Amino acid sequence: MNYYDYEYTRPIEAKGGIRAASRRGEFGSNWWAKRWMQTLEQFRIGARLSRGRSYARRGQVLKIDIRNGLVEAQVQGSRKRPYDVEISVRTIGPNDWGRLRQALVEQPVIAASLLSGRMPENVEDAFEAVGLSMFPERRDDLETDCSCPDWSNPCKHIAAVYLLLGEEFDRDPFLIFRMRGMDREDLLGEEFRQSAQTIEGPPLAPEPLPDNPETFWTNPLPALAAADLGAATVPEMHAALPRQLGRFPFWQGEQDLVATLEKIYAAASQQAAGVYLNQAEP
């Protein structure tokens, strides 16, 4: 342990930073997240990542921005001003992307899986088929820089960012594409262009009021008498929908998202059941 290490092990407490979801053990659990970690191991970065662990878990990383092959982050160290971290990844050129797109489109299941947030295991084959590699192959495909005074590379700040990226890989398979210079929207081309979908649904076309008095005051009851309005069953598992969504990207809250939502959902079910049943109970 050298002097600097000792000096800088006590960072200033960061507020509202990104907290790693994993409390112990590995960062990232899907195969592609593990492949990312393997890549780092290959470059002999892996072993030194452990120094970033506590930073990543305590939320010292204040923000991470990723675009077109460049990762920019701010990490709260022991100095008042957070350190700037940059990781740049060698991008794949436009021509190569073009060939890859062709290969992917020919395998709609791969393309669709990607779009729905899953990374099919054979996606790397598609890269290889056109002579490319999905993950960086050489150490110098990755360039890193940190504004801290620590000479070692990766320093704990860079290491913490690497680790959080590992977790983000878990969630977003497109991260690796972005790091290699391709946005999700452009990757698969027109045929698999994702519409800007929100849970509110698409906007609807306007519909003018009818001027026929017969239909204007239609009694809806005959139509609704037989309509199934859905059961009002309290689900066995609370907050199933947010659970289905998986982790929130780079969660920075002090509170645990799912645990907090679970309480709200459970209480909402109770409330709503009261509204639904009203005084109809025996």
Partner 1 sequence: MIIIHAAQLAAQLTLWAEDSEQPSQSGHALDGRHPRSVDVRNLTDAVGVSLDEPTGAEMEATIWLPSRGNSPLPSEALAGPAPRSRAKPRIKPWRVPVISLSSTQAIDLLQRCQNGRVLTPGTALGPDVAYWRHVMLFAAGLTVRQQFLPNVIPHSDSTKAVWTPLYVGDDAHRLAELARAMPPSARAMTIASADRPPSTPPQAVLKEFISSLVNHIVRQDAQEGTREFDSAHDAWLHALTTTDGAIHAANAQLQQLRRQVAEWHRPIAVAANSPYRLCLRLEEPPEPDEDDPPAALREQDWYLRYLLQPHDDHSLLLPVNDVQEWLSPDFNPTEFLIASLAQAGSVCPPISDTLNKRSPSGAPLDAEQAHQFLTQQAAALQQAGFGVMLPSWWTRRGTKNRPTIRAQVRTPPMQGGANMTMASLIDLNVQVAMGDEVIEAEELFELADLKVPLVRFRGQWVEIDADEIRAAADFWRNRDQLTLREAVRIGLGADQQAEADNVSLATTGWLSELLESLQQKSQIRLLDTPAAFHGELRPYQQMGYSWLDFLRWWGLGACLADDMGLGKTIQTLAAILRDHQEGNEKPNLLVCPTSVINNWQRETQKFTPSLTVMPHHGPGRERGERFTQQAAKHQIVITSYGTMTRDRELLASVDWRSVTVDEAQNIKNPVTRQAQAARSLPADYRIALTGTPVENHVGDLWAIMQFLNPGLLGSQAEFKRRYFTPIQAKRDDEATARLQKATGPFILRRLKTDPTIIDDLPDKRETKQYCNLTREQVTLYEAVLRDVETRLEGAEGMARRGSILDTLVRLKQVCNHPRQLLGDNSAIAGRSGKLARLEELLDEIIPAGDRVLIFSQFAEMGAILQKHVQETYGIETPMLHGGVSRKNRDLMVDRFQNDPNGPQVFVLSLKAGGSGLNLPRANHVIHYDRWWNPAVENQATDRAFRIGQTKDVQVHKMICAGTLEDRIDLMIETKQQTADQVVGATSERWLTELSNTELREVLALSTKPED
Cα radius of gyration (the chain): 25
Q: Which stretch binds partner 1 (CB under 8 A): 3-11, 28-36, 133-141, 256-264?
A: 256-264
Q: What own/partner pairs with CB < 8 Å and gap ≥ 24 does 26-34 have?
A: 26/166, 27/56, 27/163, 27/164, 27/166, 27/167, 28/166, 28/167, 28/169, 28/170, 29/170, 30/119, 30/169, 30/170, 31/119, 31/121, 32/119, 32/169, 32/173, 32/176, 33/166, 33/167, 33/169, 33/170
Does position 216 interact with partner 1 (CB under 8 A)? The reply is yes
Least distance to partner 1 from the beta carbon of 61, Å? 12
Q: Are 72 and 158 in contact (CB under 8 A)?
A: no
Does position 30 interact with partner 1 (CB under 8 A)? The reply is no
> Closest CB to partner 1 among 64 and 158?
64
Q: Are 82 and 62 in contact (CB under 8 A)?
A: yes
For 180, residues 6+ apart whose C-beta sits below 8 A from its C-beta are 69, 89, 90, 91, 92, 134
Q: Which stretch binds partner 1 (CB under 8 A): 46-54, 79-87, 112-120, 131-139?
A: 112-120
Q: Which stretch binds partner 1 (CB under 8 A): 34-42, 92-100, 151-159, 192-200?
A: 192-200
H-helix or E-strand containing 145? strand 142-146
Least distance to partner 1 from the beta carbon of 274, Å? 9
Q: Which of positions 78-107 make contact with partner 1 (CB under 8 A)? A: 107
Least distance to partner 1 from the beta carbon of 124, Å? 14
Q: What is the dihedral of CA 220, 221, 227, 230, to 10 degrees?
A: 90
Which of 116, 131, 140, 151 touches partner 1 (CB under 8 A)? 116
H-helix or E-strand containing 64? strand 61-67
Residue 213 is which amino acid? P
66 - beta bridge partners?
A: 71
Which of 11, 17, 52, 77 touches partner 1 (CB under 8 A)? 17
Structure tokens, 87: 């990781």
Q: Which of positions 172-191 make contact with partner 1 (CB under 8 A)? A: 172, 191
Which of 5, 16, 50, 137 touches partner 1 (CB under 8 A)? 16
Residue 32 is which amino acid? W
61 - beta bridge partners?
A: 18, 75
For 79, residues 6+ apart whose C-beta sits below 8 A from its C-beta are 12
Q: Which stretch binds partner 1 (CB under 8 A): 75-83, 128-136, 155-163, 228-236?
A: 228-236
Least distance to partner 1 from the beta carbon of 205, Å? 6
> Closest CB to partner 1 among 111 and 142?
111
Does position 275 interact with partner 1 (CB under 8 A)? The reply is yes
Q: Which of positions 137-156 make contact with partner 1 (CB under 8 A)? A: none
Does position 259 interact with partner 1 (CB under 8 A)? The reply is no
> Closest CB to partner 1 among 154 and 173?
173
> Closest CB to partner 1 among 19 and 51?
19
Q: Which stretch binds partner 1 (CB under 8 A): 2-10, 21-29, 151-159, 270-278?
A: 270-278
